[in-house]
């Protein structure tokens, strides 16, 4: 008795433990259960992630312009040292070092060593660097929004391919049922013909219809396998368990169908356009400020050695190029102002401002168009659901009618041509329901992309 009670308790414990697991497995077997693997492994996502990383590095590079710029050089040369009196007009960054025209003793060439370091820190630029940083930040935010928009399009693509697989699977099951019905008719007709109750032509007609159904079966087997391959290209695994989704493909819920939705102004597509407009605007401001002067703190150090001694003796030996050294330093503040850029940068800035205005107008256009498409889609979905209710009822009535006519045919009350005509009506009703089911789910996928919300579709298919 005690053993019996313990066995019963263990059995109920196993049932209770298995029920949540079974429910979880059923819950996970949805379209949404495929998405995490697609998002983590599909190579197209890596392209957008790399673009974000590139934009992040660009942002850091632009920020580094605010740091002091350090330049260093070192050289060792061998050449002549003739000096020349008189003035010259220096270019920016160069200065004149005049030598003595008096004759020197020794070699006609000498070795020289020179090394220097210069630190330049732009301490005031009228906000030019800040606007450049802002523009780089807008580019980074745009790349993030573009990735989000790509993920939405990828979700839609995954949904469309999954729906295509379920549709082709439903069509294959539809041809299987038609083949079974025609096979039953063929067997019944063959028996009736053998007994002399039906002409031999009826047997040939039934066999011909059956063979045609077999051909349709082969066609939809190929279509389903092709759709399966296209889905695996996104999913990456060798198999996808879609049995539960196949059952939900023709069963619908109207939860949320009457909910009025609107386009989110922060939709990734609209947000990417907004960031693009901000980038143009910030770049335009940076161009305007680039025409203003910049103020820099300067600091430098220079070391020089030469083969010419202070008493005028020249050595041509390379090692003596490190002798007779001098050390110099400088500190100061400088202003740089490219006056010619006042007009040029203004034209460049105006062009960027117009680009920003154009992009904002495009953003408004997209938002209005998306809202119109969403409203139209919601109307279609509502009517599509009503169509599905009617096509489902039509299938049930056609099936009942076919069963009754099949019984009458077996009793010899109707001809084979009449029964085949009723079968065609049933076939059309089932086909219409499958086509309407596909259109319904595709409309939901289109709505999900525009609202950036795939939760309903992922959880119910």
Write down the pLDDT at residue 170. Answer: 94
Grade residue 428 by pLDDT with cuts at 50, 70 and 90: very high
Grade residue 4 by pLDDT with cuts at 50, 70 and 90: very low
Per-range mean pLDDT, top range of 21-25, 166-170, 261-265: 166-170
Write down the pLDDT at residue 222. Answer: 94
Is 162 a residue whose pLDDT tops 90? yes
Write down the pLDDT at residue 11. Answer: 43
Write down the pLDDT at residue 21. Answer: 38
Share of the chain above pLDDT 90, in %: 26
Is 10 a residue whose pLDDT tops 50? no
For residues 59-70, average pLDDT: 80
Is 92 a residue whose pLDDT tops 70? no
Grade residue 12 by pLDDT with cuts at 50, 70 and 90: very low
Mean model confidence pLDDT for the chain:
82
For residues 177-204, average pLDDT: 81
For residues 236-242, average pLDDT: 82
Grade residue 91 by pLDDT with cuts at 50, 70 and 90: low
Write down the pLDDT at residue 99. Answer: 59
Write down the pLDDT at residue 221. Answer: 93
Q: Please give, one letter per residue, the 3-state secondary structure of the chain.
A: CHHHHHHHHHHHHHHHHHHHHHHHHHHHCCCHHHHHHHHHHCHHHHHHHHHHHHHHHHHHHHHHHHCCEEEEEEEEEEECCCCCCCCCCCCCCCCCCCCCCCCCEECCCEEEEEEEEEEEEEEECCCHHHHHHHHHHHHHHHHHHHHHHHHHHHHHHHHHHHHHHHHHHHHHHHHHHHHHHHHHHHHHHHHHHHCCCCCHHHHHHHHHHHHHHHHHHHHHHHHHHHHHHHHHHHHCCCCCCCHHHHHHHCCCCCCCCCCCCCCCCCCHHHHHHHHHHHHHHHHHHHHHHHCCCEEEEEEEEEEEEECECCCCEECCCCHHHHCCCEEEEEEEEEEECCCCHHHHHHHHHHHHHHHHHHHHHHHHHHHHHHHHHHHHHHHHHHHHHHHHHHHHHHHHHHHHHHHHHHHHHHCCCCCHHHHHHHHHHHHHHHHHHHHHHHHHHHHHHHHHHHHCCCHHHHHHC
pTM as predicted: 0.78
Write down the pLDDT at residue 90. Answer: 63
């Amino acid at each position: 008795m005690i053993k019996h009670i313990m066995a019963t308790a263990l059995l109920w414990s196993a049932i209770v433990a298995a029920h949540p697991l079974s429910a979880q497995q059923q819950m996970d077997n949805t379209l949404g259960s495929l998405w995490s693997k697609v998002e983590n492994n599909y190579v197209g996502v890596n392209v957008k992630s790399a673009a974000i990383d590139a934009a992040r590095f660009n942002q850091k590079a632009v920020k580094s312009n605010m740091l002091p710029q350090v330049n260093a050089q070192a050289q060792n040369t061998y050449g002549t040292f003739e000096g020349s009196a008189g003035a010259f007009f220096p270019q920016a960054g160069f200065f004149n070092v005049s030598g003595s025209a008096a004759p020197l003793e020794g070699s006609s060439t000498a070795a020289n060593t020179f090394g220097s370091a210069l630190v330049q820190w732009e301490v005031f630029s009228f906000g030019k660097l800040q606007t450049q940083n802002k523009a780089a930040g807008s580019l980074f935010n745009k790349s993030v929004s573009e990735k989000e928009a790509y993920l939405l399009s990828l979700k839609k693509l995954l949904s469309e391919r999954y729906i295509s697989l379920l549709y082709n699977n439903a069509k294959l099951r539809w041809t299987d049922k038609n083949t079974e019905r025609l096979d039953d008719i063929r067997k019944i007709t063959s028996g009736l013909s053998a007994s002399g109750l039906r002409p031999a032509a009826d047997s040939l007609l039934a066999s011909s219809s059956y063979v045609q159904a077999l051909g349709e079966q082969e066609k939809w087997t190929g279509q389903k396998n092709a759709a399966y391959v296209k889905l695996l290209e996104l999913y990456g695994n060798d198999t996808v368990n879609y049995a539960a989704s196949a059952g939900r493909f023709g069963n619908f819920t109207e939860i949320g169908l009457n909910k009025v939705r609107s386009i989110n102004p922060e939709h990734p597509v609209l947000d990417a356009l907004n960031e693009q407009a901000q980038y143009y605007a910030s770049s335009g401001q940076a161009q305007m400020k680039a025409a203003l002067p910049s103020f820099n703190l300067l600091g430098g150090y220079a070391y020089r050695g030469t083969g010419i001694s202070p008493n005028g003796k020249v050595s041509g030996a390379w090692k003596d190029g490190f002798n007779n050294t001098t050390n110099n330093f400088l500190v100061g503040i400088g202003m740089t102002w490219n006056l010619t850029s006042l007009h040029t940068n203004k034209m460049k800035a105006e062009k960027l401002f117009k680009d920003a205005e154009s992009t904002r107008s495009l953003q408004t256009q997209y938002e209005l168009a998306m809202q119109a498409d969403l409203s139209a889609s919601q109307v279609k979905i509502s009517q599509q659901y009503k169509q599905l209710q009617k096509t489902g009822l039509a299938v049930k009535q056609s099936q009942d009618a076919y069963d009754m006519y099949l019984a009458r045919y077996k009793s010899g009350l109707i001809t084979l041509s009449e029964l085949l005509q009723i079968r065609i009506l049933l076939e059309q009703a089932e086909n219409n329901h499958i086509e309407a089911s596909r259109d319904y789910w595709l409309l939901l996928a289109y709505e999900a992309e525009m609202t950036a919300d795939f939760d309903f579709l992922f959880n119910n298919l």
